[in-house]
């Protein structure tokens, strides 16, 4: 099971676990945080999302200050990109799978201390995507 935060276009988010997210599918199922074993998972439509954030834990670190700075001498296995979402959020990171015209791609945040291990960026939720 992957711990994720589904961030919706309307600004809301849902934390929980999924085991069936695939970038090629239009929907996936999310067992919301706090649900009991046997509870029916929620079906999430990717078209309603800004992104799916695969996180280290569902609580995060409230004392952590987000940065888009790449650490010096960090190993690069991919291309550095800057994503500007339609809501104004900017996220820098490394991707191996961005191609214009695809519905989305995975991004590893530049910030190595981020709670986000990787993010599936929904391309339709972005204002711009550029190599840096």
Tell me how far CA of residue 18 lies from CA of 29, 40, 46, 120, 129, in angstroms. 6, 12, 13, 13, 27
How many domains does the chain divide into?
1
Percent of all residues in the chain with a pLDDT value above 70, rounded to a whole number? 98
For 14-52, what is each residue's pLDDT tens digit? Answer: 999 999 999 999 999 999 999 988 899 999 999 999 999
Q: pTM here?
A: 0.93
Residue 88 backbone dihedrals phi, psi, to 5 degrees: 100, -15
Nearest to 46 by CA among 66, 26, 68: 26
Residue 75: its pLDDT value, please?
66
Range of the domain at 123: 2-131
- Which of the residue ranges 66-70, 92-96, 117-121 would you say has the lowest mean pLDDT? 66-70
Asked if residue 119 lies in contact with residue 54, where contact means CB atoms within 8 angstroms, the answer is yes
Read off the pLDDT of each residue in 126-131 and give the average, rounded to a whole number. 96
């Amino acid at each position: 099971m992957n711990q994720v935060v589904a961030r919706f276009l309307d600004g809301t988010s849902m934390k929980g676990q999924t085991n069936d997210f695939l970038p090629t599918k239009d929907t996936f199922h999310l067992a919301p945080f706090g649900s009991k074993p046997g509870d029916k998972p929620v079906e999430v439509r990717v078209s309603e999302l800004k992104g799916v954030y695969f996180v280290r834990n569902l609580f995060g670190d409230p004392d952590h200050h987000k940065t888009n700075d790449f650490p010096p001498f960090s190993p690069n296995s991919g291309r550095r990109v800057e994503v500007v979402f339609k809501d104004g959020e900017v996220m820098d990171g490394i991707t191996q799978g961005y191609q214009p015209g695809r519905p989305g791609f995975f991004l590893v945040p530049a910030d190595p201390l981020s709670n986000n291990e990787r993010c599936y960026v929904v391309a339709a939720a972005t204002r711009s995507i550029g190599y840096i």
